[in-house]
Chains A and B, each alone.
Chain A
Amino acid sequence: MWYFTAPQIVFGEDALDELDELSGRRALIVTDANLVAAGLVERVARRLERAGIESRVFDAVEPDPSVQTAQKGAQVALDYAPDWIVGLGGGSPMDAAKAIWVLYERPDLEPAEINPFVKLGLRRKARLATIPTTSGTGAEVTWAIVLTDLEERRKMGLGNRENVADLAIVDPELAAGMPPQLTADTGLDALVHAVEGYTCTWHTDMSDGMCVNAARLIVRYLPRAVADGADMEARERMHNAATAAGLGFGNAMASLAHAMGHVLGSMFHLPHGRAVSIALPYTIEFAARQAPERFAEIGRQLDCSHDEGERGARALAHRLRAFCREIGNPTSVVACGIARADYETQLEKMVDDALNDTQVITAPRYPSRDEMRQLLDHAYEGNEVEF
């Protein structure tokens, strides 16, 4: 047995109007200062006001939000007593909103106790709405929460199926202001979600369709969204694709490219989407010898080749690298300007951290320590994986 968990999703042009229909008294909007400055928070607050809901803003969410920020936000919620928490932004504000909501409902819990193995008993005080302003993370529909513990200097993968949002509002207008590089990085994040959600060992019949359709949409529309941010058809299809990919991988799992991407991101501050999209083709080639079938299948769905087995999987890896280049993104770590000496210095820690990343559990081919070192080495140089 397994589960498929999803919020109610309102999507498409003018989806933000749905806020007019909410019932409630008070909402805490969890966001960041940039979105306040961009006027998006004001737009949401006005909508809530029309619904008769007063609001307060917690805009202290930083990129890679910390445990301490979530605890501060939870204290604001405890003081304000909202019946809605609204996560507005990219993955960081939405993850912070989930954590703040859980800690508001369950102030007896430590953040580290938010895990899939306990009953949380949420929705006694408030419900959660998520509103993405980027097209990539899928955090609006997933239950995962990533927080950084500043004291221990490590990222914590948290979350419980109960903390998936009640309502996700997926309005492409809110993502229309993304610059080309952010559009590319976040869109590639969604593509990696789709491919890994389809190919990880926890994929299911329920998640497969979401992943395949998301991948098709991204391959078709991301280049257009990067080339012309005012192309609203491309924006809308990318916004939908990112949410679909979130539903797909969020109900399956990510895999080895995320394990590698997490260490590349945390060591060298590469944007998450860029880091995982660099890693993905190397992990596909690594899996190609022992477990190529699922990669070849999704490759055929994307018209990479009609080959089966290892040739089909390798064709997918080639296509993904070409796609990155097409939208101006790198396909190796060296192309990100990271010096070999700096990389070597961190390599053993990266190997350790990648092997101990929970996403590695679902890899179709599980790397040994030496193989992980080689994978990171190949990803640095941009050499195809032949082992």
Chain B
Amino acid sequence: MALSFPSDEWIKELSNQLNASPSYEQSAQDWEGDFIFVVEPDENYPETTHLFLALFHGKSPGAEMLSSPDQQEAEFVIQAPFGTWRRVIEGQLEPIQGMMTRKLKLRGNMMKIMRYPAAAKEIVSCCARIPTDFGD
């Protein structure tokens, strides 16, 4: 069954996918740094939503949709409108290109992310593996 994006179920499924990925475990084995993905409203999505993803040493120890932006702190915050996130999840926008063109706005040390390209790639691959309902 397709999972609605953005939702608590969707971000938890991403966490599950990462925990099941040997590629991610290997490529992020010394990574430390949690993320908050901020989904901003656009013509197809009416509100701002915050998704929290914990990442530590090749595993994802937790994930949740936040009820308020202050509920969790994270080293990295990436924000973009709903439609841009959809393009990332569907593989139409490579996230590092998205950040270079400021379609995805990052708060945090980008150069730290750039040192883990294989892990970043695997996170995007895991997103693509989630059957996702964008509310069409």
Chain A contact residues, CB within 8 Å of chain B: 1-3, 112-113, 115-117, 157, 201-202, 355-358, 360-361, 366, 368-369
Which one, B5-13, B43-51, B111-119, B127-135, is touching chain A?
A: B111-119
Checking A2, A201, A360 against B117 with a beta-carbon cut-off of 8 angstroms, the contacting residue is A360
B26 adjacent to A117 (CB under 8 Å):
no
Tell me if B99 is interfacial: C-beta within 8 Å of chain A.
yes
**A1 proximity list for chain B (CB < 8 A):** 101, 103
Query: B102: nearest residue on chain A (CB-CB)?
Result: A117
How distant is the Cα of A366 from the Cα of B99 in the complex, in angstroms? 21
**A116 proximity list for chain B (CB < 8 A):** 100
A202 adjacent to B94 (CB under 8 Å):
yes
A273 to chain B, nearest CB (A): 23
**B100 proximity list for chain A (CB < 8 A):** 116-117
Checking A355, A357, A361, A369 against B94 with a beta-carbon cut-off of 8 angstroms, the contacting residue is A361
Chain B contact residues, CB within 8 Å of chain A: 23, 26-27, 94, 96-97, 99-101, 103, 106, 110-111, 114-118, 120-121
A51 to chain B, nearest CB (A): 36
**B110 proximity list for chain A (CB < 8 A):** 115, 117
Query: A154: nearest residue on chain B (CB-CB)?
Result: B115
**With known contacts A2-B101, A117-B106, A355-B27, A366–B121 Cβ distance under 8 A:** yes
B111 adjacent to A361 (CB under 8 Å):
no
**A369 proximity list for chain B (CB < 8 A):** 23, 26-27
A155 to chain B, nearest CB (A): 12
How distant is the Cα of A116 from the Cα of B106 in the complex, in angstroms? 12
Query: B117: nearest residue on chain A (CB-CB)?
Result: A361
B6 to chain A, nearest CB (A): 24
**B118 proximity list for chain A (CB < 8 A):** 355-356, 360
How distant is the Cα of A368 from the Cα of B24 in the complex, in angstroms? 10
B115 adjacent to A356 (CB under 8 Å):
yes
Q: List 22 A-B contacts (CB under 8 A).
A: A1-B101, A1-B103, A2-B97, A112-B111, A115-B111, A116-B100, A117-B100, A117-B106, A157-B114, A202-B94, A356-B27, A356-B117, A356-B118, A357-B117, A358-B117, A360-B117, A360-B118, A361-B94, A361-B120, A366-B121, A369-B26, A369-B27
How distant is the Cα of A113 from the Cα of B110 in the complex, in angstroms? 10
Apart from A202-B97, A356-B118, A357-B117, list 19 A-B contacts with CB within 8 A: A2-B97, A2-B101, A3-B101, A112-B111, A113-B111, A115-B111, A115-B114, A117-B99, A117-B110, A202-B94, A356-B27, A358-B117, A360-B117, A360-B118, A361-B94, A361-B96, A361-B121, A368-B23, A369-B23
A interface SS class: loop
A337 to chain B, nearest CB (A): 31
How distant is the Cα of A225 from the Cα of B117 in the complex, in angstroms? 38
**A361 proximity list for chain B (CB < 8 A):** 94, 96, 117, 120-121
B32 to chain A, nearest CB (A): 16
Of residues B94, B96, B117, which shows the largest number of chain A Cβ atoms within 10 Å of its Cβ?
A: B117
Checking B94, B114, B116 against A201 with a beta-carbon cut-off of 8 angstroms, the contacting residue is B94
A291 to chain B, nearest CB (A): 14
Of residues A117, A201, A355, A356, which shows the largest number of chain B Cβ atoms within 10 Å of its Cβ?
A: A117
Query: B105: nearest residue on chain A (CB-CB)?
Result: A117
**B116 proximity list for chain A (CB < 8 A):** 356
**B26 proximity list for chain A (CB < 8 A):** 369
Query: B100: nearest residue on chain A (CB-CB)?
Result: A116
How distant is the Cα of A360 from the Cα of B114 in the complex, in angstroms? 11
A143 to chain B, nearest CB (A): 11
A161 to chain B, nearest CB (A): 9
Query: A3: nearest residue on chain B (CB-CB)?
Result: B101
The 6 closest A-B pairs by CB, nearest first: A117-B110, A355-B118, A361-B117, A116-B100, A115-B111, A1-B101
How distant is the Cα of A112 from the Cα of B112 in the complex, in angstroms? 10
How distant is the Cα of A369 from the Cα of B110 in the complex, in angstroms? 24
Query: B106: nearest residue on chain A (CB-CB)?
Result: A117
B34 to chain A, nearest CB (A): 19
Query: B29: nearest residue on chain A (CB-CB)?
Result: A352
